[in-house]
Structure 1
Amino acid sequence: MASKSAIRRLNKEYKAIAQSPPPYICAKPLENNILEWHYVLRGPQETPYEGGEYHGVLKFPGEYPFKPPAIQMITPSGRFQTNTNICTTMSNFHPNLWNPTWSVATILNGLLSFMVEDETTTGGIRMTDRDRRILAGKSHNFNLDNSKFKEIFPELCTPQAAPLPDNVPKPQVPASTTSVPNLPAPQNIGAKVQFFTPHAQLRNRPLVTKVAPATGTEEPEAAVVPSPRRSRWFSFEPYYKLYVILVIFLYLIAAKLISRAASTPV
């Protein structure tokens, strides 16, 4: 069930998209379910998807905008599996990377940018550019055979796909699926990761410190390996109090025996 904030936010976004549609993108929610949006991406010029018309769905959680949607594509594209959740930084595969300020337009722009890349992802497939162009040419007729598409997008149900305007800008392609503008890098990237032995954990003393692989050109630091002597000493650490008590106890017994021996007449 959609929360009040989700309903208010999605209604606001639908109004914004209707007034100023993003290039290559058409999107709208179902009349009876604000959490299910259907979209159509137009293939950009000078890509294997040029002339294509790709129908898909966004399934928003009731907690939106605080949780990301699931993203699927219905029309065969040669880039994504059909009716399968697609892994991007703006999908439910990465809730830790989600930014609540992102909108439906942001999500679909990101998906379109990712589509024209060849980066491997869950839900993605690899095909030749020739096969993708063939699918692009068949996409409009494929959509016309889909009753859901005809119900939601009657304005697109023409004998031929409408040509793109000449002044449509090319989509901005991010460097990768994880390099999204205005998104702070994950805190564990490039951060020091501490590894503990079971005994050292008890005293919270790291024995080995390594650097997690970073996304840039920075080289990871070499591991600091403890000396054998230090390792042996820390392996006894949890019991050192017991050893001290035992030594003191033995010392007291020995002292008492010596005292008795000294006081016994010869």
Structure 2
Amino acid sequence: MLTREYTAIQANPPPYIIAHPSETNILEWHYILTGPPATPYEGGQYWGTLLFPPDYPFAPPSIRMHTPSGRFQPSTRLCLSISDFHPKSFNPAWEVSTILIGLMSFMTSDEMTTGSVHASDTERKWLAARTRWWNSTGGGSRTEKKAGVSASVKGIGAVKAGDGGVKFRAEWPELDSENFDWMKKHRIDAANGNLKPDETGKPSLECSAEVSALVRGPKGSGGLGAVRDGGQAAREAGRGWVSRHKWKLAAIVVLAYVVLSRAVGEKAQ
């Protein structure tokens, strides 16, 4: 079944989607979603995995997206009607392409579920600009392409910043090479994903959407932006407003309590 679906998806890939099974395990698939135009993810390279059960297509796969997106928690199982969170709602007629089209549709919507995070469009655009860097460097833990170095990986697990891009390199060697060429062309620092200054010490002024997002930084504030790990950026993006400002809120509550207590005490006197 999955072998036939691989042949079909190769012959007729859905728009902005490519996928293939692992060479060592037909049940482990790797996909790349390219962020579609007119979305905060435009041009982003989003890598993830589908892990199919032995009884597929009568049971759905688990779905993860490893690349920080500001939409999903990296390497976290996603609760979708097409995933293993809801086996009873899965239709055996659905194929790999159907699942990935559904994932793309959900990603570009505003619906929330287990594994989703909140982030602004600005944060998501900034993360989209860093996707190729993050995939090929493991969030900056691999700084250069090394010829003849083979990857050694086990299972799909959680792929987070710090693995040196090993898993991505094993599954997408051609894309990995293209990513490093892209970083070199656009003077992206492989150690942190930021734009390197030119010979004059100034940041590049080229205007591609991806490079412009890196220049603006995650808050659109100008300059080179903060040096932040891709996974950390996703975690920051995923925290709600209340979570990010909990200490300020606590201080306001305490201050209000003190003021109210004094007012009540003065009135009682």
TM-score range, shorter chain: 0.5 to 0.7
Write the distance in 2 (CA, Å) between the matches of 1:144 and 1:26.
17
Match of 2:132 in 1: 140
Alignment match of 1:153 (pick from 165, 172, 176): 172
1:40 aligned onto 2:27: no
Question: Following TM superposition, by how much is the alpha carbon of 1:155 offset from its aligned partner in structure 2, in angstroms?
Answer: 2.2
Asked whether 1:29 is paired with 2:21, we answer yes
Which of 108, 118, 121 is equivalent to 2:100?
A: 108
Report the Cα offset of residue 156 of structure 1.
Answer: 1.4
Partner of residue 4 from structure 2, selected from 6, 12, 15: 12
C-alpha displacement of 1:123? 0.5
TM-score (norm 1): 0.57
Which has the higher relative contact order, 1 or 2, with Cα contacts under 8 A spaced 6 or more apart? 2
Alignment of 1:178-193 (within 5 A): none
Computed over aligned residues only, the root mean square deviation of the Cα atoms, in angstroms, reads: 1.3
Segments of 4+ moved more than 4 angstroms: none
Q: For residues 214-235 of structure 1, give each alpha carbon's deviation from its aligned partner in whole angstroms, at most 9, with x where no partner exists.
A: xxxxxxxxxxxxxxxxxxxxxx
Deviations 1:74-103 (A, max 9, x none): 000000001110011100111111000100
Q: Which amino acid aligns with 2:173?
A: P
How many aligned positions are there?
154
- In 1: Cα distance, 2:10 partner to 2:174 partner: 14
The SS at the match of 2:130 is: helix
Per-residue deviation, 1:152 = 1.1
Instruction: Describe how 1:165-184 pairs up with structure 2 within 5 A.
Output: none
The aligned residue for residue 123 of structure 2 is 131
Aligned-pair identity in percent equals 53
1:69 aligns with 2:69: no
Q: For 1:30-67, what per-residue CA distance to the aligned partner results, in whole angstroms no more than 9, with x for missing partners?
A: 11100000101000001000010000000000110100
Residue type matched to 2:115 in 1?
G
Q: What secondary structure sits across from 1:57 in the alignment? A: strand
Cα displacement (A) at 1:21: 1.4
In structure 2, the gaps of 5 or more residues are 138-164, 184-207, 209-269
What is the CA distance between 1:149 and its match in structure 2? 1.1
Looking at structure 2, the residues matched to 42 and 110 of structure 1 have their Cα atoms a distance apart, in angstroms, of 14
